[in-house]
Structure 1
């Protein structure tokens, strides 16, 4: 499995019986990022900007209600998480689409 350390990439075999199970998403981080990065570019003074802001929020709400496996991640930085939070997991094919 390719892993990245700095600007070096090396192949490494997973330890034990590790198996890919899907994508894990930190919902709180994603919502905050989308508001700070995507919404800030939209004008609140135009119909198009208001429509885009509405659609962005509708997308965030949809992600909160999508059928998926909810998991609780422990405190600390492990397995690519940013501390404790709500995470959703989708099968790999759903992430790739």
Structure 2
């Protein structure tokens, strides 16, 4: 068992992990940007439309599918409760 006060990673290994993950994130981000630009030219859509409209819709597809499945099973109330606090102002 690991106590709550005991560090799992040391400072040096944490910094190495941070650097490695930063490089991986930068590489993947560059890939995404180049893919969006290529798709923009191929589909004749603006980069802004793809970035602001299409990517968030595709990114939330699993959540949308879950909402539809719960709604069809008459569990809409449980789906609304599980999605977090609802503010109705």
| Shared fold (TM-score, shorter chain, > 0.5) | no
Q: Which has the higher Rg, Structure 1 or Structure 2? A: 2
More helix by share: 2
* Structure of higher RCO (CA pairs closer than 8 Å, 6+ residues apart): 1
More strand by share: 1
Task: Tell me the TM-score normalised to structure 2 length.
Answer: 0.29
Task: Tell me the TM-score normalised to structure 1 length.
Answer: 0.28
